[in-house]
Amino acid sequence: AQKITQTQPGMFVQEKEAVTLDCTYDTSDQSYGLFWYKQPSSGEMIFLIYQGSYDEQNATEGRYSLNFQKARKSANLVISASQLGDSAMYFCAMREGRMDSSYKLIFGSGTRLLVRP
């Protein structure tokens, strides 16, 4: 079974609108971390946001927020007020296990977002 599932290979959004990128995960660990990365066409991996499994509040970083639904095992990324520069590939990733003893990130297959002017 896939550990990280991103079911949307590609999405469009109109500039200035909000968009939600879906991510579901599968783990039996109680302690884990969830990450979102942005990969523009230039190829670098840019960290966007992090949510720990014990964090009670949803993580937010500027226009990015993570809609964390633990019981459903979902960690959707919400981008508010989309900008043309948000057009990129977005990856959801998970660290299984405790931060001080687990080091591997497991990545989903990504969602390509295109922002329309």
Partner 1 sequence: NAGVTQTPKFQVLKTGQSMTLQCAQDMNHEYMSWYRQDPGMGLRLIHYSVGAGITDQGEVPNGYNVSRSTTEDFPLRLLSAAPSQTSVYFCASRDKRDEQFFGPGTRLTVL
In the complex, the residues that contact partner 1 under the rule CB under 8 A are 4, 33, 35, 37, 43-45, 47, 50, 52, 91, 93, 95, 99, 103-110
Instruction: Decide whether 68 or 91 has the Cβ nearer to partner 1.
Output: 91
Q: How far is CA 54 from CA 29, 49, 88, in A?
A: 12, 15, 29
Contact 27, 6 (CB under 8 A): no
- Cβ of residue 10: shortest distance to partner 1, in angstroms? 11
Instruction: Decide whether 17 or 47 has the Cβ nearer to partner 1.
Output: 47
Q: Within 13 Å and on the Cβ side, how many CA atoms surround 7?
A: 8
Instruction: Decide whether 43 or 117 has the Cβ nearer to partner 1.
Output: 43
- Cβ of residue 45: shortest distance to partner 1, in angstroms? 4
Contact 35, 50 (CB under 8 A): yes
